Structure 1
Amino acid sequence: MTSGGTRVRKLTARSAVLSALLGAHPAEASAAGILTLATKLGFGQSAVRVALTRLVAAGDLDRSDGMYTLSARLIDRQRRQDFALHYHASAWDGSWRLAVVTTGAEDSTDRAALRTALRAAKFGEVREGVWGRPNNVSTTVRADARERLTLFRAVPEGDAVDLVSEVFAPTEWAKAAEELVTMLREASVMVERFEIAAAIVRHILDDPLLPAEVLPAHWPGHDIRQAYEAFRIELTTLAEEILTATR
């Protein structure tokens, strides 16, 4: 199932467990709670047990005293997810933050890691080695990536809307967001809604969080967050009842 460029992935036991814990605060649950919740989503207990074993082995979950918690790496993802869902933007003065790569990469893996870190901090690639974003949101570049960068603040001479369109392609993001919102509204089966909601979270994580001055008309950023929040309340209520009762 696809929406624009955003793929709605088939729900697996692994993705169900991770999605539930990423949406939970605190991000922990007992084995019994996870099994009960996953069963309600249509998974067999054996599949869930295998998924839990593999998640621990892969370093995605930590297990202690019968409780499963997100690993430090996924706690960082949860923080980024929470920030993207409930970010605070400042008034924009027209300036941009620039990140210029001043220390070269050792190999393609290193280059890919730097690009991932910059995208996670909501920067877009202006040209090779030069990344930027409007200075309306406070984001932090991961420490290991920050050591390889020199940061500047600047005001582009050209049209800001054109630059944003070139660097971030907001129209494409908006089109996919609108399609995902429609899909969630039309879905009635819980598993399908869960799959679409997971795709919505991934899409929101890719929102460049641009100022209103450079956004296309009818920007769906609020709508997609509102649609996800309604589903999150529905799912979280169910999950918290199960996970709390089985802790």
Structure 2
Amino acid sequence: MFRLPCRVRRSEAGVEDAIEAPPLDLEAYLPRLTARGVILSLLVSNHPARPTPAQVVRAAGAFGIKESAARVALSRLVSGDELLRTAEGFRLSARLLERRQRVLHEVEQQTVPWNGDWEMVVITGTGRDPVDRASLRSRLSRLRLAELREGVWMRPANLLRPLDMRAEPVRVLTGSPMGNPGELLGALWDLPAWEADSVRLLELMERAESPVDRFTVATAIVRHLLADPVLPQELRPDPWSAGLVHAAWMAYQGEFVSIPEVDHRD
């Protein structure tokens, strides 16, 4: 199980006492956020604020992003129609707003009692170009299905969400597979790896103290939750920390890193 380093000293009686751990170095555990990633995360979490370039640059500087890198990232985000420049400052484009709402919705997956059925999506179309194939795979992943073999995607039928694939070259089936469901789960997801990442992120959030460190861990938690298989209670391994990770994300909502000097009112 993942554990953050902690120095230990042994008393004269031979009892080991944990003493204060060294300062948290997040880069030893999480990928460093890029200038683009920092700015997008700040703008998304501060929506509907419209910060000026100088305010964004100062906020990004808290993450170790140099001014030149921040300004280049801003320019590219505007030219890529991800941010819009207004008289008041920057705001999210319609595409980014839609993505923000989609991510929030996907993190908050709603479930129904599981009756033992599984969803199966079989890709029947052939000869599609790589862009279309990648788009379909991405959509199936966002629907929390996993690929059993090429062209066959499955998951337990416990999610309260539409599975409308009429515009896609697929066939949607529902049924109860024979055999051990645990073996099927293992073929669809690497559950031990997901649980290990959950424990790591929970411990990092517990250790993180500065607003920047907590923001960085929270960003990683969102990415992690978007890969949560959202299993029914009957199929969850023990231990399974998905609920704790989600609770940590919800608890963080009131403390996101705000961009200084910006009016956050709509």
Q: For this structure pair, what is the TM-score category when the shorter chain's length is used for normalisation?
A: 0.7 to 0.9
Query: Percent sequence identity over matched residues?
Result: 33
2:50–2:91 Cα contact (<8 Å) kept: yes
1:29 maps to amino acid: R
Instruction: Assess if the C-alpha contact under 8 Å between 1:14 and 1:51 holds in 2.
Output: yes
Corresponding pairs, count:
239
CA contact (8 A) 1:181 1:224 kept: yes
Native 8 Å contact 2:57 2:67 kept in 1: yes
How far residue 199 of structure 1 moved from its aligned partner, in angstroms, is 1.4
Aligned to 1:198: 219
| Unaligned segments of structure 1, at least 5 residues | none
Q: Please name the residue that 1:213 is paired with.
A: 234
After TM superposition, list the pairs within 5 Å mapping 1:135-214 onto structure 2: 135-140=157-162, 146-214=167-235
Q: What SS does structure 2 have at the residue aligned with 1:51?
A: helix
Q: Indicate the residue corresponding to 2:31 in structure 1.
A: 9
In 2, Cα distance between the equivalents of 1:204 and 1:214?
A: 18
Secondary structure in 2 aligned to 1:184? helix
- Partner residue of 2:79? 57
Residue 244 of structure 1 corresponds to which residue in structure 2? 263
Whole-Å separation in 2 of the counterparts to 1:244 and 1:16: 20
Secondary structure, counterpart of 2:204 in structure 1: helix
CA distance in 2, matches of 1:2, 1:73: 33
For residues 94 and 53 of structure 1, what CA distance do their matches in structure 2 show?
51
- Any conservation in 2 of the 1:92–1:135 contact (CA below 8 Å)? yes
Q: Secondary structure at the match of 1:29?
A: coil
Alignment partner, residue 123 of structure 1: 145
Q: Deviations over 1:178-208 (max 9, x none)?
A: 1111112112343333222211111111111
Q: Alpha carbons of 1:193 and 1:132: their partners in 2 closer, same or farther (altered >3 Å)?
A: same
Structure 2 distance, partners of 1:205, 1:86, is: 9
**8 Å Cα contact 2:112-2:158 kept in structure 1:** yes
**CA-to-partner distance for each residue in 1:187-235, whole Å, 9 max, x for gaps?**
2343333222211111111111111111111211121122223333211
Change (3 A) 1:246 1:98: closer
Give the match's secondary structure for 1:244: coil
1:96 aligns with 2:115: no
Q: Does residue 74 of the first structure (1) align with residue 93 of the second (2)?
A: no
* TM-score, with length taken from structure 1: 0.82
Q: 1:24 to 1:209 in 2, by over 3 A?
A: farther
Larger Rg: 2
Q: Give the drift of 1:106.
A: 2.3
Q: Is the 8 A contact 2:116 2:157 kept in 1?
A: yes
Alignment pair present for 1:29 and 2:50: yes
- The Cα RMSD (Å) is 2.8
Contact 2:45 2:256 in 1 (8 A): no
In 2, Cα distance between equivalents of 1:9 and 1:155:
40
Higher relative contact order (CA 8 A, sep 6+): 1
Moved more, 219-228 or 9-18: 9-18
**Shift in Å, 1:136:** 0.8
What is the CA–CA distance in structure 2 between the aligned matches of 1:9 and 1:141, rounded to whole Å?
34
Larger helix fraction of residues: 1
Shift of 1:47: 3.9
The whole-number CA distance in structure 1 between the counterparts of 2:74 and 2:182 is: 46
Partner SS state of residue 10, structure 1: coil
* 1:58 partner amino acid: G
